[in-house]
A and B are shown apart, each in its own frame.
Chain A
């Protein structure tokens, strides 16, 4: 297996940063160039979801539906019925937050290629507060049969993921973030729906992250290495279908796993991995994310710190977890 090509600057203080949604904007234009069946619908958030790039490139294939998320996905369902590949965008708090039943009935149940783009997910929408910090979306979408669920780790990967869901012929959910976050991958890094990637090999513990949290786990692994702990870091952009074999191989080696996500740990990536390992390979697991509470206003950094979701916090939590389970 060839090594995953990380951004060479990933551990530098001036690592490139860009909002994950920016990669979506570029990817959607590329998907539109490759296939004229791609159409885009937005619920009055065209600039902030970065759908504006597609709107400029293909004005005839862009549809403004106004602040109406139920209509957003059901109009898209009708367009899919006519052979189009519709991408719908809003904030994750509203889509799929408000229109879950319409997504289930009119897109997922009949396996239509409707793409749900939930931007501004997680805590990093910051000052907007709990109403806009969508933390339940991974669980909501993962439980829906036929649905593909992807939380890209950075803007470079988001671009690839967008192009990939345009051709997967499945109802798909892409979870995007608002804030500028570090780019840890690279244009040479692979992305395939349903694949998890080993970013760093190690033998003491598996750290599995999705979305913005993978970068923080890379930082944590570096800190842990300084203290003699050899952590393996997995990036799991596709939460459904889960790459069970990559997780299994890693946990078989390390014997314990820590998961990280900017979302509720109930039903999220941590939930998915716990469900899988619970029957396939029961091992100690620490699920990091938001634990059955809502967020609040603050800067993204303040919030990640408060919820102990930074590299430094993860290093501490992983150390404590290892010592707790070494004495077993």
Chain B
């Protein structure tokens, strides 16, 4: 167990690494039952969303509209399973409801919709808009309502950075010095057509954000302590927005999915799910999937 997990344990009463494993097990179970959806991204982001929902965010799942809450926006909406799993396990809705992912009549739509679930702040799926929305939220907090206590976190995919809308937001947040805005990039190096550097190179990624006026941090996206430390540092930098480039392994935790871009956009079969759950059981997390 990491030091961060202990810190998290003190605050939330849960072990963060075990929670991340539980979330990964839920993701596998949801996707297998849904029969479609994205696997690699959600598994790779499980540690990031665990850090956010179980330690970083000021929020109250029993009072989702709490006026003093932090705002979390998922911009890469195709990774909805990890968001739904983190929200369910932190108490926004019953964990059993995860089984309804992508079904007719479900609150767990294929891509997230604002208002479909308590605490779900934004609609996303078409890529590139979340950072702008987050910038709008942070602008209101800093320059209109002047509320320095609340922060805005936006999760982005790296393939998503191909979208021009992201860089419009980057310029805007730089201009208005939105220190209450924290972008987190899931830097897993894959997108649908292959490796990000083959499809549309992003490097020098750090240099790009710095040139737009952002403070840039890089972390191991599977080290929950490092993630929490990076966010604390981001919050301490009040004079410019911060982007955290979180280096992750796509499919993290499921050996046969790791690093394989072919798992970006598909769900496991029943047999593959059993294999994945067996591996995740060995890694910790004692409860049943979902």
Contact = CB atoms under 8 A, between A and B. Distances in A.
B20 to A, nearest CB: 28
Contacts of B139: 63, 75, 78-79
A81 B164 CA distance: 22
Interface in B151-176: 164-165, 168-169, 171-172
B136 A74 contact: yes
B114 interface: yes
B84 to A, nearest CB: 17
A108 to B, nearest CB: 10
A101 B126 contact: yes
Nearest to B164: A70
Given A63-B139, A105-B124, A70 B113 contact: no
B1 interface: no
A106 B135 contact: no
A76 interface: yes
Contacts of A61: 144
Interface size class of B (residues with CB under 8 A): 20 to 34
Nearest to B115: A110
Interface string A45-79: 00000000000000011010110101100111111
Interface of A: 39, 60-61, 63, 65-66, 68, 70-71, 74-84, 86, 101-102, 105-106, 109-112
Contacts of A74: 129, 132-133, 136, 165, 169
B169 A109 contact: no
A110 B123 CA distance: 7
B140 interface: yes
Contact of A70 (B71, B129, B134): B129
Given A63-B139, A71-B169, 19 more contacts: A60-B143, A60-B144, A70-B132, A70-B164, A75-B133, A75-B139, A77-B122, A77-B129, A78-B132, A78-B137, A80-B136, A81-B133, A82-B137, A82-B141, A84-B140, A102-B126, A105-B129, A110-B122, A111-B115
A75 B122 contact: no
A275 B143 CA distance: 46
Chain B at the A interface: mostly helix, strand, loop or mixed? helix
A92 B164 CA distance: 20
A251 B165 CA distance: 46
A54 B128 CA distance: 29
B128 A77 contact: no
A80 B139 CA distance: 12
5 contacts: A75-B172, A78-B139, A81-B121, A82-B140, A102-B129
Contacts of A39: 144
B287 interface: no
Nearest to B141: A82
A282 B33 CA distance: 49
